[in-house]
Amino acid sequence: TSFRKDEAERYSRDAEKYDRMICSPFYRVMMKQDPAERQKAWKEMLEGLELFSADLNWEDKDANTISFYSGELERPSIVDLTVFPWVNRLFLLQHFKAFSLDGKEANLI
């Protein structure tokens, strides 16, 4: 089955939104030389990740069961495919820039 046209348009807009809120800041964290600019980008990315997480369709938060952005369990949307590569690369920010999701960023920025 395919997404309805209105769903596809919404997912396209949401993918663009999360590209700006997660993907672009990730790149700035990696590439900016100025520590203040990296810190600003990191905070922007965290805000984007928090918003994305809030927008997901949690089936059972206690069991940590979650569906894809579209609400389906078996088929990701363009939004999931936009965000996933950057979430999957978060370890790079910890390894190279000392940023981590545990909130214990090192002073090595």
In contact, 67 and 77? CB cutoff 8 Å: no
CA 45 – CA 84 distance, rounded (Å): 13
H or E stretch covering 1: none
CA 12 – CA 72 distance, rounded (Å): 17
- What are the pLDDT digits (tens) for 39-76? 999 999 999 999 998 888 666 666 666 678 877 777 88
Structure tokens at 76: 């990701």
In contact, 38 and 97? CB cutoff 8 Å: yes
Residue 100 has pLDDT above 90, yes or no: no
